Amino acid sequence: MEKLMKYCASLLLLLVMADAHANGQTPPDKRQPEKGDDVIKVTTNLVQVDAVVTDKEGRPVTNLTAADFELVENAQLRAITEFSYISLRPEDTGREPNSIARKGETTANRSGPPRTLHAIRRETVRRAIAIVVDDVGLSAESTARLRSALERFVQERTQSTDLIAVIRASGGPGAMQQFTSNRAQVLATIKGLTWYQMGRGRMSATESWNPLDNNEDGIELKGYSANRPADLSGKEFFGGSLGALGFVIQGLSSFPGRKSLVLVSDNLPVTSREALAAGVTRALDKLIEQANQHSIVISTIDARGMQKPGPTADDGQHNLAANQINTRTRERRLKFNVQSDGLNYLAAQTGGIFVHSNNDLTDALRRVVDGELGYYLLAYRPDDLDDETARARTFKVRLRVNRPGLEVRTRNAFHRTKLTREVDGPPKGKDDLLREALVSPFVTEGVRLKMTGLFTGGSQVKILLHVDARDLAFVKSADDIYNGSLDIVAVAFDDNGKPVRQVARTQTLRVPSAAYEHLLRDGVVYSMTVPIQSPGGYQLRLALRDGTSGRLGSDSQFVEVPDAKKTRLTVSGFAVQRIEPEVGLQHAPEMQRTSVEGPGGDGARRGLAVRRFDAGDLLTYSYLIYGARRNSRTDPPSLLTQIRLFCGDTEVFTGRVSSVDVSQESSSGGIVAQGNLRLGTGLTAGEYFIQVIVTDKLAAVGKQVSDQWLDFEIVK
């Protein structure tokens, strides 16, 4: 009877976990433990196995049953006690970005809205995708091809529920700060990818022949092959590649959803003498063990594509005899295979795909990521299920599919952790809590807030913060004043995930009783400035702690700081607010100049930060334009602008194309542009996105268009 109760409890726990798997492979934990409570780490003694099954063409097979599988552990066939298929396909595929692109525009400018411009909720994530660009091991040729392939892939193949990061191996730690659902941030990182000259990659993916052939004593051999082993190394520098994998695996370990790591490299040799001496194989095994322990699937792509070992135009063949050419051809073929050993090994041991001999890197990325759109989840009872003294251990499992012509991909090891009970440690200080909220890619909603980052010219970004005052705790004093305080920290992370600037504030709140109800209704609006010296893309993250209750709130937003010295068109500082009826349309330009250069009053800050409008409202918008081309120093730029409005994926309004008034210039050298928009009276309440598109008629093709998005809400 006791054994039966234990078994039923394990089955019940597995069913709960399987239900959570319907929304992702790792169920989110919404309950925060209270201080002093015991923290329960719950796992199950049933071993869960996840697997992807494809046909000969690499297409997923989704109609299998438990009877189609054979699960073997310790050379014994195990009975499958639980079985399900978890689909991660989106309910609606939407339209392809290229289907609405116009000549001279990029797909990003004419695509649908970004779904979100801020941090996302943990429970909305279905897939976490980390694309590790091994620039330490990429040639200049492969880097250029990969950059364009990544841009197409992110624009066309990713979903709104995907959490994505593009991480450079040479960038060091900071992987957690690069995960985002904001495609603009990912694309900005991709545009910054360059060839890492200090790595093991050369200009070309194929190393050219040296016409000189020397023996071990350094004597040049003419017409004869040298009596020496082939050099199969990748010229060391493995540390950067393996270190980046370690950072990303550690960052992905606590993520929800299906967790995929894609490593793109030219070479990762693990069987050469140099690699073995450096302990690369042992390091890879350690990384594989960590990935399997946290259910992370690693797929790999050989960026060299289809390579021919024979002579090329870059090879020096002067004075080489036929046997020397044959030796070099044989060594090149052998070296090409050895250099991809590590990539193949990583994918095979973690249930991923190894894509090689494919010149279309966009297709290679598609094959890898689309292969993770669904998986089978199986479970079985190990022999020591009822042994309460059994330790956590690794299970070597082999999974077979009975149907012919199908291929199954799964990890080589699965981990089972015993049920443990740990006592919570000492309470964390406010700095620790704020730091945790800042580094997390997910929104914290103990205090609901919305952050708006605006580049206002010069070397600074203005943050406008709206806080829901209903989530704050106030203490009423004897003089009829409601008192509270806020601890606020804002950090700007660069495209490597490294913090470049931090600003911290403590704000005291004193609200008279007569204004308290008004505060609860409208919230708190706060502004602060973050100095940023260098142009580029930055992820602004802000965390807030209520000083009275200790509740936390956080948000993030991608902000691009344009380079005023360059001539590439950039739109920045997009701001929208309502024109109040008593102000009138004739005063809108003055409001625009104020909002771009720095909001001056509480009313202006509230309107720009909150952005809650009624159907039929008249809106005024403004933005800065940098990098506009001129035929000469005296000739003005020739710019066109257009506004688009979206509700969800539906485009509800497309404005006419009009010329930009280039007469106003900001203190930082940008053109101040502005316009007005009347919201339709028939628009329904909900979340909306507005896009401004600017076209430079004097710029070269491919550099003519820039855009900016902003979100707002219609309340009635």
* pLDDT tens digits, 78-88: 999 999 999 88
Distance CA 195, CA 616 (A): 51
Per-residue confidence (pLDDT) for residue 32, from 0 to 100: 41
The string of pLDDT tens digits covering residues 359-385 is 889 889 988 888 888 899 998 888 765
Per-residue confidence (pLDDT) for residue 465, from 0 to 100: 93
Residue 236 structure tokens: 């060391």
| Confidence category of residue 105, pLDDT binned at 50, 70, 90 | very low
Pairing of strands 460-467, 414-416: unpaired
Count of CB atoms situated within 10 Å of the CB of 510: 12
Q: What is the DSSP code (8-state) at residue 511?
A: E
- CATH superfamily to which 425-561 belongs: Immunoglobulins (2.60.40.10)
Judge whether residue 525 has pLDDT over 70: yes
Judge whether residue 574 has pLDDT over 80: yes
Segment 590-600 mean pLDDT? 31
Per-residue confidence (pLDDT) for residue 327, from 0 to 100: 73
Per-residue confidence (pLDDT) for residue 393, from 0 to 100: 65
User: Which CATH fold would you assign to the domain 563-716?
Assistant: Immunoglobulin-like (2.60.40)
**In the chain, which segments carry CATH 2.60.40.3880?**
563-716
Distance CA 456, CA 598 (A): 7
The string of pLDDT tens digits covering residues 413-454 is 776 554 444 445 577 788 888 988 888 888 899 999 999 998
Q: Which CATH architecture has domain 127-364?
A: 3-Layer(aba) Sandwich (3.40)
Count H helices and E strands in the chain, helices first.
14, 33
Segment 135-146 mean pLDDT? 87
Query: Quick one: what percent of the chain has pLDDT higher than 90?
Result: 32
Beta bridge partners of residue 506, listed in sequence order: 487
Count of CB atoms situated within 10 Å of the CB of 19: 11
Q: What is the DSSP code (8-state) at residue 269?
A: -
Q: What is the DSSP string of 1-55?
A: -HHHHHHHHHHHHHHHHHHHHTT-SS----PPPPTTPEEEE---SSEEEEEEEE-
Per-residue confidence (pLDDT) for residue 386, from 0 to 100: 54
**In the chain, which segments carry CATH 2.60.40.10?**
425-561
| Confidence category of residue 210, pLDDT binned at 50, 70, 90 | low
Query: Quick one: what percent of the chain has pLDDT higher than 70?
Result: 74
Whether the Cβ atoms of residue 569 and residue 699 lie closer than 8 Å to each other: yes
CA 546 vs CA 446, 467, 473, 508, 588: distances in Å: 9, 11, 7, 10, 36
Cβ neighbours of residue 523 closer than 8 Å, sequence gap 6 or more: 466, 467, 468, 469, 610
Judge whether residue 560 has pLDDT over 80: yes
Per-residue confidence (pLDDT) for residue 220, from 0 to 100: 54
Per-residue confidence (pLDDT) for residue 599, from 0 to 100: 30
* Mean pLDDT over the full length of the chain: 78
Top-confidence residue, 98 or 315: 315
Judge whether residue 35 has pLDDT over 70: no
The string of pLDDT tens digits covering residues 237-274 is 556 788 888 888 988 888 888 899 999 988 776 655 55
**In the chain, which segments carry CATH 3.40.50?**
127-364
Per-residue confidence (pLDDT) for residue 269, from 0 to 100: 66
Of 114-118, 182-186, 201-205, 309-313, the range with the highest mean pLDDT is 182-186
Average the pLDDT over each of 129-138, 308-317, 434-443, 523-532 and give the range with the smallest value: 308-317
| Confidence category of residue 565, pLDDT binned at 50, 70, 90 | confident
Pairing of strands 162-168, 127-133: parallel
Helix %, strand %, coil % of the chain (to 5): 25, 35, 40
Segment 272-291 mean pLDDT? 71
Whether the Cβ atoms of residue 101 and residue 107 lie closer than 8 Å to each other: yes
Judge whether residue 180 has pLDDT over 80: yes
| Confidence category of residue 390, pLDDT binned at 50, 70, 90 | low
Per-residue confidence (pLDDT) for residue 7, from 0 to 100: 36
| Confidence category of residue 392, pLDDT binned at 50, 70, 90 | low
The string of pLDDT tens digits covering residues 294-344 is 889 999 999 888 766 666 656 666 666 677 777 777 777 777 777 788 888
Top-confidence residue, 74 or 321: 74
| Confidence category of residue 621, pLDDT binned at 50, 70, 90 | very high
Segment 517-540 mean pLDDT? 90
Per-residue confidence (pLDDT) for residue 200, from 0 to 100: 73
Q: What global pTM score does this model have?
A: 0.74
Per-residue confidence (pLDDT) for residue 215, from 0 to 100: 54
Beta bridge partners of residue 60, listed in sequence order: 54
Per-residue confidence (pLDDT) for residue 413, from 0 to 100: 77
Per-residue confidence (pLDDT) for residue 424, from 0 to 100: 55
Distance CA 690, CA 712 (A): 8
